[in-house]
Amino acid sequence: MLILGVLAGILTYLYYFFFAPLNISPFAEESPRADIAVVAGDYNAGNIDQAIVNAEMLVAGDSKSVPALLALASSYAQKGSISYNEAEYGTKAINTANLVFAAAPTPSQASEAYRIIGYSNEIMERYAEAQNNYDKAIELNPKNSQAYSNKGHAYHLQGDVAAAGIWYGKALALDPKNEHALVNEARLLIRLNKLPEAREILNILFNTSSNRMFLADGYQLLAVMLMDQARPDDAGARLSFEKALSYNRNLSQAWAMLGFVKLRLLAASSGTDEAMRNEMKSIYADLGEALAINPKQASAYYVASLLANIVGDKTKEAELKKLALEAIPEDITLGADEKEALRKEINAKFINVNLSPKK
């Protein structure tokens, strides 16, 4: 049997939590407006481009509307996070959120503006500025649970898991259903190998959330847990990745990992030649989806190189490994430690198992 376990361990810690969505709370008002609700609906469904279009129309109609400005700033920040274009949309989000302060915001609205500015700096890896703005958000509104969660997230991105856990805990103490905090607390528990506790947190998310982006993140985490546990459940992981993608198809890592878990299942199978050929085509299709979303998704190139290796195509394997190594420095879904771990894994020798269909 081909052993394909190391990549699962590496990807348990991948920083795809760059894409954890912002909480929808900045879209709410004391008396909710129908037009803001439309933007919120698109945002929650993952239709960020449409949310931006509608929010821009609202701001064009009333440039002093604080709810419209917050909705637009939030949508810009989320677009920057998921589109691999952090600088452009992060800057737009900051500029839009800054307009809130001249439009007579309430303290809670000003708190949200600072939080969005913080998140926008965070996706651009300006962590000191992010933390400074999160602190301002919390000072203005100590009940802003999302600001606590974002602050924890910034610590998490910098590798300070102890501080991250403290701030996620504060967020959940204020709002036990805070989706952002639930997803990131689960990810932190997985990193600490506290899998039962992580599963409990994910169950809360699955039972309380209707936000498709958060549910997609949650099922991605569940899938990686299933792959990386002492007795891997690759079949369950495959179903979980497929469920994550049913909620949000724009997850490059989920596509890459779906291809990887299919490869593990294929390596352990004894199917017919035709079935194996069809599964290989399916794996290549998954990896193609990953790279169409993020051309710098190093893990997708690496999984493709594994497939080339096991079918005996050494030339293609070498080409794909080279592409994977070249992609690593620009792959924003990887933290520094994960980049180094994946680089070492790619440079390691493969186990030679030929799964080429018989002629």
Token readout for 214 is: 């958060």
Q: Which long-range contacts (CB under 8 A, 24 or more apart) does 193-199 make?
A: 195/225, 195/229, 198/225, 199/225
The interaxial angle of helices 145-157 and 127-140, nearest 10 deg, is 160
Task: Read off the pLDDT of residues 279-305 as tens digits, 9 standing for 90 and up.
Answer: 999 999 999 999 998 898 999 999 999
Predicted TM-score (pTM) above 0.75:
yes
Taken in order of first residue, the domains within the chain and their CATH numbers are: 6-14+234-347 (1.25.40.10), 16-228 (1.25.40.10)
Whether residue 227 contacts residue 234, with contact meaning beta carbons closer than 8 Å, is answered with: yes
DSSP states of 291-323 as a string?
HHH-TT-HHHHHHHHHHHHHTT-HHHHHHHHHH
The pLDDT assigned to 283 comes to 95
The pLDDT assigned to 42 comes to 86
The pLDDT assigned to 33 comes to 77
The pLDDT assigned to 68 comes to 94
The pLDDT assigned to 24 comes to 45
Query: Which residues of 57-185 form beta strands (DSSP E)?
Result: none
The pLDDT assigned to 208 comes to 95
The pLDDT assigned to 274 comes to 87
Indicate the SS3 state at residue 20. coil
Distance CA 187, CA 18 (A): 12
DSSP 351: P
Query: Tens digit of pLDDT per residue, the chain (359 long)?
Result: 344 544 555 454 443 433 444 444 455 544 457 888 888 888 877 788 999 999 999 999 999 999 999 999 999 999 988 777 889 999 999 999 999 999 999 999 999 999 999 999 999 989 999 999 999 999 999 999 999 999 999 998 888 999 999 999 999 999 999 999 999 999 999 888 899 999 999 999 999 998 888 999 999 999 989 988 889 999 999 999 999 999 999 888 899 999 999 999 988 887 788 888 899 999 999 999 999 988 989 999 999 998 898 888 989 999 999 999 999 998 877 767 778 888 888 887 554 444 444 44
DSSP 42: H
The pLDDT assigned to 27 comes to 54
Distance CA 158, CA 138 (A): 20
Distance CA 185, CA 170 (A): 11
Distance CA 266, CA 281 (A): 12
Report the Cα 275 to chain-centroid distance in Å.
Answer: 32
